Structure 1
Amino acid sequence: MFTDVLDALNWRYATKRMNHHTVPQASIDRIVEAARLAPSSYGLQPYTLLVITDPQLRARIQQQAAPQPQLTECSHLLVFATWASVDEPRVDEFLALTALKRQIPVSDLQGYGEVIKGTLRTLGSNQARQQWAARQAYIALGMALTVAALEGVDATPMEGFDPLELDRILGLEGKQLNSVVMATLGYRDTDQDALAGQAKVRRPLAEFRQVLD
């Protein structure tokens, strides 16, 4: 485990091979909680996080939707899935939760609700709303990856999968969800992963950062 976030981020990389070791539940809980607490536009969180541990289910995903070895070598698989319908009833549910948590009348949030609904109307099509929701899910993914690194847990984000097949395997249509991105959690296999221990490659700070005075 790390105490400095930059040390943790320098240590982490998209692990290519994992060693089948199990990540402690306490670490998983902190990673999931970090994703839950991630910033989200209006706080709406138009996505759900699926945590998959079943080795047989992960093997099926690996065989049919994402032929990458980490899926069967990891400890846990995270799947970030957006709501199939990002609509006004969802906003009303969020407003009711907010009123309950803050112990205020839901009528006090009417103006805020209209702002959120106005954004959804501006986005227009459900496809555009799905793209907007996916961007929110990626923020949660980033938080999960960061806290995984702080926990000393390797993580591999994955976009290279067949989303329709993954949705079918997980029964997401019945859950009114659409898979967007995945991440495997586990520990690196330093004997099989050629990238283990290699220098991290990023653009130099002077090139990456532009200061506008």
Structure 2
Amino acid sequence: MSFLEALNWRYATKRMNGHTVPQEKLDTILEAARLAPSSYGLQPYSVAVVSDAALRNKIRGLAVPQPQVTEGSHLLVFATWTTIDEASVERFIEHVASERDLPLSSLAGYTDAIKSTLRKYPTQVEREHWASKQAYIALGMALAAAATEHVDATPMEGFSPEALDELLDLKAQGLRSVVVMAIGERDESNDSMTSLKKVRWPKESFITHT
């Protein structure tokens, strides 16, 4: 299946059949999210993987009242850092220097550029909003990777971040949930969306050339 064929095959699956996604496919989806682009490469977000059935049942009852949460195989929670400050930048720069075997001094300009950007968002709320937009890029990469792996996926915003954060103890980890993604296998007998034609705006109105 080509990439575009995979994207045409995928849709936001409404019902899943409980089949477990193989570990190697899950790993590919998660690696795609990890490799997603982000501003300066900072990646001010993380992905929490929820596979435990009992916990997903609680999540469905208290935070994400949608059947894919329990009918799917895993729930991926994209969560932004609750602290994005200059110390965060310095830890990141130290990591870059280590990975690329560079002296910290050679990254001074890079460091200043990131810190300068953060100063444009003086409050933590603004910084979390900035980070959440980047987390959505990772979500998009994960959705595309799932399609190429022939794994069904559903992105979801209709949940209570406060309830989900409490259930997963995300606050203690310095994280706040922003969007979730259920993965699994479509239940063709119960999902009326399965046989419907994919509908998008035509190229002529979607794409402009200047």
2:140, 2:9 → 1: CA distance? 15
The one-letter code of the counterpart of 1:50 is A
Match of 1:26 in 2: 24
Cα distance in 2 for residues equivalent to 1:15 and 1:60: 21
Give aligned pairs, total: 210
Q: Secondary structure at the match of 1:97?
A: helix
Distance 1:20 1:209 in 2: 38
Distance in 2 of aligned mates of 1:158 and 1:101: 34
Aligned residue among 85, 90, 93 for 1:92 = 90
Give the root-mean-square deviation of aligned CA atoms. 0.6
Pairing 1:148–2:131 present? no
| Residue identity matched to 1:40 | S
| 1:160 aligned counterpart, secondary structure | coil
4+ residue stretches of structure 1 with deviation over 2 A? none
Distance 1:197 1:34 in 2: 28
| SS of aligned partner of 2:112 | helix
Same amino acid, percent of matched pairs: 55
Normalised by the length of structure 1, the TM-score is 0.97
CA offsets 1:36-84 (integer angstroms, 9 cap, x no match):
0000000000001101100000000000011100000000110000000
1:127 is displaced (CA, Å) by 0.9
Residue in structure 1 matched with residue 161 of structure 2 by the alignment: 163
- What is aligned with 1:177? 175
Distance of 1:107 and 1:92 partners within structure 2: 12
Shift of 1:142: 0.2
Write the mapping of 1:25-174 to structure 2, written as runs, cut at 5 A.
25-174=23-172
Structure 1 gaps of 5+ residues are none
3-state DSSP of counterpart to 1:124: coil
- How far did 1:198 drift? 1.1
Displacement of 1:197 after TM fit? 2.0
- For residues 70 and 161 of structure 1, what CA distance do their matches in structure 2 show? 13
* One-letter amino acid matched to 2:167: I
Distance 1:107 1:57 in 2: 46
What TM-score do the two structures reach when normalised by structure 2?
A: 0.99
- Given residue 145 of structure 2, which amino acid in structure 1 is its aligned partner? V
Cα deviation 1:81-111 (Å, max 9, x = unaligned): 0000111111011101100110011111111
Q: Offset at 1:174?
A: 0.6
Residue type of the alignment partner of 1:170: L
